[in-house]
Amino acid sequence: QVQLVESGGGVVQPGRSLRLSCAASGFALSGSDYGMHWVRQAPGKGLEWLAVISYDGLTQYYADSVKGRFAISRDTSKNTLYLQMNSLRAEDTAVYYCARYVAAVGLDNWGQGMMVTVSS
């Protein structure tokens, strides 16, 4: 079955970098039906969409709040999605989810979430 497992979270100081990973199983990231997204949720707040990478890896889109600081990428040989987060701020503190997108369906499978805390 489809499974997404995030890793790489933790506590980081403001201004530093962190890379989140999302290991996928049960399907291929390179499959033509799938895009991959990152979504986050600050403590006690709602869902915030962050980024997407297309099935072929050629297209990425970002929310304004992270554009220029975060980068989404993937390694199809490892079937793993990444989120490189640079210049981290206190307001980036959140649970980060990776999720699989199926066209005209939505985010049909989600990871368990990974906490990132930005604090000195």
Partner 1 sequence: EIVLTQSPGTLSLSPGERVTLSCRASQSVNSRYLSWYQQKPGQAPRLLILGASTRATGIPDRFSGSGSGTDFTLTISRLEPEDFAVYYCQQFGNSPYTFGQGTNLEI
**Which residues form the interface with partner 1 (CB under 8 A)?**
37, 39, 46-49, 52, 61-64, 97, 101, 104-108, 110-113
Cβ 72 to partner 1, closest distance in Å?
A: 12
**Under a CB-based contact definition with an 8 Å cutoff, are residues 51 and 83 in contact?**
yes
Tokens of 96: 């980060």
Pick between residue 14 and residue 56 the one whose CB is nearest to partner 1.
56
Pick between residue 14 and residue 106 the one whose CB is nearest to partner 1.
106
Phi and psi based region of residue 2 (left: phi greater than 0; alpha: psi -120 to 50; beta: remaining): beta
Cβ 73 to partner 1, closest distance in Å?
A: 17
- Closest to 118 (Cα-Cα) out of 96, 102, 98: 96
| Residue 12 DSSP SS3 | strand
Pick between residue 64 and residue 120 the one whose CB is nearest to partner 1.
64
Residue showing tokens 């499959």: 31
Cβ 104 to partner 1, closest distance in Å?
A: 5
Pick between residue 54 and residue 86 the one whose CB is nearest to partner 1.
54
